[in-house]
Amino acid sequence: MTDFKDIILAVLAILIPAIVAILGYVIHRKTECIKIMESQLSDKKYHEYAGLVDMFFKILKDTKRNNVPNDNLAEQMVDLKKDILLYGSDKVFFAYNNFFDISTNYPGSLKLLMDAWLNLMLEIRQDMCGHSSKITKDDILFNLMQSRDEMNKYYASL
């Protein structure tokens, strides 16, 4: 009987570490795959967010130069809707939809439009910085206008 116990203990002493090693390897591989997918998603998300911000700044440049906005702007916005749906965070998705809704249904309301745009930019910034960004809507507006006087005039006009 003692020999049988010794054999079982010897087999278990070999099997248990082998099973633990195999499980450790499987978990490590799964973790690596998840990290790779997260990295790819982050890269894609960055690319889409950069495209969205680029489009808005192009519109701003065109407006300051009194150029007519590009005809394919609506097409670009729809393409961005698809990309934001696929890759954007929930908050960015909702902020973009809100901006798109306001720009379509309330085009004359500068206050609503600007607030929706600032909120969208803030959500993008928060998503890209892991929600640790301390930037506010006023900081974004100041960056856009580059003058506190201009910013104060904007707020006074509302």
pLDDT number for residue 39: 81
Of the CA atoms within 13 Å of residue 20, those in its CB half-sphere come to: 6
Q: In whole angstroms, how large is the CA radius of gyration of the chain? A: 27
Find out whether 102 and 112 touch, Cβ atoms under 8 Å: yes
pLDDT number for residue 122: 93
H/E stretch holding 58 reads helix 2-64
pLDDT number for residue 69: 61
pLDDT number for residue 1: 63
Q: DSSP state, 131?
A: T
Helices and strands (H and E) in the chain: how many: 6, 0
pLDDT along the chain (158 residues), means of 10: 81 88 92 86 84 83 70 76 87 92 83 90 89 87 84 82
- The sign one gets for the Cα dihedral 91, 94, 98, 103 is positive
